[in-house]
Amino acid sequence: IIRATLRPIFRALFHILCQVRISGYENIPNKGAYLIAINHVSLFEPPFVLAFWPVVPEAVGAVDIWSRPGQSLLARLYGGIKVHRGEYDRQLVQKMVSVLNSGRPLLIAPEGGRSHTLGMRRALPGVAYLVDSAKVPVVPVGIVGATDDFLSEALEGKRSILEMRIGKPLWLPPIEGQGQARRLSRQVNADLIMRRIADLL
């Protein structure tokens, strides 16, 4: 009920604050689970995607969001999944895999946090581990215009363009090898996701 209420409110807010442009809706799978992978410059990309995605995705966010005023309230209301950056949490991974196994899409930022610049950071290999465990495709999404000063400029009356470009689903190669070779294989797949996002930018 809360998600059904929040999504149209945020859609309206984004339309008021900026010029919303979305392309590639036809690339979103009609059914089944998939991972939505986005670039992450500022705090505006996740709510933008969650508001305009045609179905309601689950979402992953860094645990520190839950301690920030405003962001914490929204994360709790939406029911986001807490992630500890750089830490392996078996229960958390199982929770995310369970979401995908249940047939729901899951939103994640492979970089593991905001870049605060127009460039992208290297993806963490955990995203490839998740995809390999759940056996789902990745839907790459490139977001343009969601800079750190997006809100301040919007409040000054500058209705800049905020654009979401949705790419075709990507099936990653299987993870192969053992030990270091397996870890390298995960990083190669994570890099592939980021290259697809970069193509959209």
DSSP-derived letter for residue 65 is G
Q: Quote the tokens at residue 150.
A: 């997006």
pLDDT of residue 82: 84
Residue range 167-186, pLDDT digits in tens: 999 999 998 888 889 999 99
Residue range 4-14, pLDDT digits in tens: 999 999 999 99
- According to DSSP, the residues that pair with 36 across neighbouring strands are 107, 139
pLDDT of residue 170: 96
Strands (E) in 28-160, as ranges, are 35-38, 58-62, 81-83, 106-108, 138-144
Q: Provide the terminal-to-terminal Cα distance of the chain, rounded to the nearest Å.
A: 34
Residue range 94-151, pLDDT digits in tens: 899 999 999 999 999 998 777 777 788 888 888 999 999 999 999 999 999 988 888 8
pLDDT of residue 88: 66
For 126, the enclosing helix (H) or strand (E) is helix 126-134
